[in-house]
């Protein structure tokens, strides 16, 4: 009898231990709150030189510097994400002077209030401009300045509702104010002026609706794909939609070396009636500061 009781107690203790362990494994993982910080720098260089090369060719030197920042404060009741992208690059082909190949300043901040698992209200703001002057070149190599820092500058403020499926997919839709700002009359005629008025406006304000969708997927440990689709339509012309679709695929060769392919599609009728396409394939050095 004593042996039976001893064995019974041992079996009950073992069963209780197993059940407790299973319960702990089945318990949902507690969310981790706090700051996530990322500051990454990227340098890409391309060089080619020819001397008495019978097959022909022109010497080339190109470089591009990119700095990306991301600061996310994720708490139980809110999420505040601020990000920035800063890019500058030049290319020199043959005897031509160096020409700009990439130039962007973009800063975005999004505050989301957590009220449900999927749909949550947000408030966002963006600012966009460039570092140096941009030129339009003619066939005879003459050039005309068409842009410079804060000419134009783009700013938006949005209020709406965001949808979060998981950490890899988010989308938001909101009412937006978009400002296009210049401080020079020459550039105002190109970017911010209303042709229907006699006065040249240096600021154009457009109320409208913005949709921003972001997706990121890690296919392998060393392959990352990201895509961001930004749509804007002003309230006066719903049949005219501004589109900015940015896509990036990065292949991580090692801890500091990678190959990246960027493909951007831009359509803004205020700038050009035709779509604009930019593609950059680069091999470079990446360094994580944070």
pLDDT tens digits along 225-252:
999 999 999 887 766 789 999 999 999 9
User: Residue 25: which domain range?
Assistant: 1-30
Is pLDDT above 70 for 273?
Answer: yes
Separation of alpha carbons 260 and 181, rounded Å: 32
Is pLDDT above 90 for 21?
Answer: no
Residues 23 and 78 grouped into a single domain: no
Residues 3 and 118 grouped into a single domain: no
Separation of alpha carbons 17 and 154, rounded Å: 62
Residues 160 and 282 grouped into a single domain: yes
Give the pLDDT band (50/70/90) at residue 45. Answer: confident
Separation of alpha carbons 125 and 157, rounded Å: 4
Residues 52 and 7 grouped into a single domain: no
Give strand ranges (E) for the chain.
34-48, 60-74, 78-93, 99-113, 119-129, 134-137, 143-147, 153-166, 169-181, 203-220, 223-234, 242-252, 257-267, 276-288
Residues 66 and 9 grouped into a single domain: no
pLDDT digits (tens, 9 = 90+) for 5-14: 344 444 444 4
Residues 105 and 226 grouped into a single domain: yes
Residues 105 and 159 grouped into a single domain: yes
Count how many domains the chain has.
2
Q: What pLDDT score does 210 carry?
A: 96
Residues 12 and 87 grouped into a single domain: no
State the CATH number of the domain containing residue 168. 2.40.230
Separation of alpha carbons 162 and 173, rounded Å: 6
Q: How many residues does the chain have?
A: 290
Residues 65 and 47 grouped into a single domain: yes
Residues 45 and 150 grouped into a single domain: yes
Separation of alpha carbons 120 and 149, rounded Å: 35
Q: What pLDDT score does 155 carry?
A: 97
**What is the token pair recorded at 252?**
């991580």
Residues 155 and 264 grouped into a single domain: yes
Residues 82 and 166 grouped into a single domain: yes
């Amino acid at each position: 009898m004593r042996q039976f009781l001893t064995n019974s107690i041992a079996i009950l203790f073992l069963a209780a231990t197993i059940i407790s362990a299973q319960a702990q494994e089945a318990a949902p993982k507690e969310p981790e709150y706090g700051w996530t910080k990322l500051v990454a720098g990227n340098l890409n260089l391309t060089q080619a030189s020819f001397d008495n090369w019978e097959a022909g060719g022109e010497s080339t030197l190109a470089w591009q510097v990119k700095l990306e920042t991301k600061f996310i404060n994720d708490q139980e009741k809110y999420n505040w994400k601020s990000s920035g992208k800063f890019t500058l690059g030049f290319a020199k082909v043959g005897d031509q002077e160096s020409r700009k190949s990439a130039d962007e300043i973009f800063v975005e901040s999004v505050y989301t209030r957590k009220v449900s698992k999927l749909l949550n209200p947000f408030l966002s703001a963006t600012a966009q401009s460039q570092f140096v002057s941009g030129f339009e070149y003619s066939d005879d190599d003459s050039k005309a300045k068409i842009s410079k820092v804060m000419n134009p500058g783009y700013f938006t403020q949005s209020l709406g509702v965001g949808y979060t499926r998981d950490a890899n997919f988010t989308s938001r839709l909101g009412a937006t104010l978009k400002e296009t700002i210049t401080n020079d009359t020459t550039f105002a005629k190109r970017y911010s002026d209303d042709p229907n008025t006699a006065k040249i406006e240096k600021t154009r304000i457009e109320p409208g609706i913005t949709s921003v969708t972001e997706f990121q997927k890690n296919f392998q440990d060393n392959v990352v794909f990201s895509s961001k689709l930004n749509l804007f339509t002003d309230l006066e012309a719903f049949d005219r939609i501004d589109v900015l679709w940015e896509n990036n695929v990065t292949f991580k060769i090692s801890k500091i070396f990678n190959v990246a392919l960027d493909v951007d599609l831009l359509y803004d009728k205020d700038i050009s009636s035709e779509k604009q396409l930019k593609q950059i394939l680069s091999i470079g050095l990446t360094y994580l500061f944070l």
